[in-house]
């Protein structure tokens, strides 16, 4: 999907709502891209499927010895660096699949509304420690973000097979693009993993690669 105001291809921002690093990146990527005349397509995928099926990571990251301890220290440190509020609802208390299905249902209608909704989900889970798990909680966020339509019963649509299949297809598309972690950015076919690569994404856009 290209920005109608630009001939340059959009940047793909791949994310799963579970990751605080995706939350950090979500607050920066649109402005970063706009400075280079680029738009951003936000694309939700299901990280857990890739971890289990492709990476062979059956232990949740936060429960992994040493690495989990590092992440628990790094996440608040990076939140301070980004200047963002951080009070996580906890990985164990949040399953992102309903939120991602809702995001994709909204994104089919209006990409800008879907970004507002996504920002609301990130904030609810990572800044307010209120992980939005249920269709009703997600409908509330969609309503707050004006991402609702009279002919879309979002809460009813989230658990349908069609919505589940849509998330599976998005996850397949992520893997086809080479995505294996969240957040990831794809710029003209070049993938970058991690919120701490935003500076390199910026440099790649400025220099046109290297």
DSSP code string of the chain: ---TT-SSPPEEEEE-TT-HHHHHHHTTHHHHHHTTT--EEEEE--HHHHIIIII---S-GGGSTTHHHHHHHHHHHHHHHHT-------GGG--THHHHHHHHHHHTT-HHHHHHHHHHHHIIIIISS----SHHHHHHHHHHTT---TT--HHHHTTSHHHHHHHHHHHHHHHHTT--SSSEEEETTEEEESGGGHHHHHHHHHHT--
Question: Looking at 6, 9, 197, 202, which residue binds a copy of itself (CB under 8 A)?
Answer: 197
Does position 191 interact with a copy of itself (CB under 8 A)? The reply is yes
Q: Name the residue nearer to a copy of itself (CB basis): 3 or 193.
A: 193
Does position 206 interact with a copy of itself (CB under 8 A)? The reply is no
Segment near a copy of itself (CB under 8 A); pick from 7-15, 63-71, 122-130, 142-150: 63-71
Q: According to CB under 8 A, which residues from 73 to 92 bind a copy of itself?
A: 73-74, 77, 80-81
Segment near a copy of itself (CB under 8 A); pick from 15-23, 57-65, 105-113, 129-137: 57-65
Does position 60 interact with a copy of itself (CB under 8 A)? The reply is no
Q: Point out which residues bind a copy of itself (CB under 8 A).
A: 50, 54-56, 58-59, 64-67, 69-70, 73-74, 77, 80-81, 175, 178-181, 190-191, 193-194, 196-197, 199-200, 210
């Amino acid at each position: 999907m290209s920005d109608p105001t630009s001939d340059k291809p959009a940047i793909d921002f791949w994310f799963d709502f579970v990751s605080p690093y995706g939350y950090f990146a979500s607050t920066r990527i649109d402005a970063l891209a706009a400075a280079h005349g680029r738009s951003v397509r936000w694309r939700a995928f299901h990280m857990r499927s890739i971890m289990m099926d492709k990476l062979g990571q059956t232990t949740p990251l936060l429960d992994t010895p040493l690495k989990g301890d590092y992440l628990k220290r790094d996440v608040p440190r990076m939140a301070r660096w980004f200047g963002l509020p951080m009070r996580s609802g906890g990985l164990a208390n949040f399953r992102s699949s309903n939120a991602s299905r809702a995001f994709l249902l909204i994104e089919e209608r209006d990409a800008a509304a879907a970004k507002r909704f996504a920002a609301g989900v990130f904030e609810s889970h990572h800044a307010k420690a209120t992980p939005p798990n249920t269709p009703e909680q997600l409908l509330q966020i969609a309503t707050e973000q004006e991402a609702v339509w009279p002919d879309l019963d979002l809460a009813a649509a989230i658990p349908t097979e069609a919505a589940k299949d849509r998330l599976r297809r998005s996850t397949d598309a992520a893997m086809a693009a080479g995505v294996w972690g969240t957040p990831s950015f794809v710029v003209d076919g070049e993938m970058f993993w991690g919120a701490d690569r935003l500076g390199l994404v910026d440099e790649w856009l400025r220099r046109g690669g290297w």
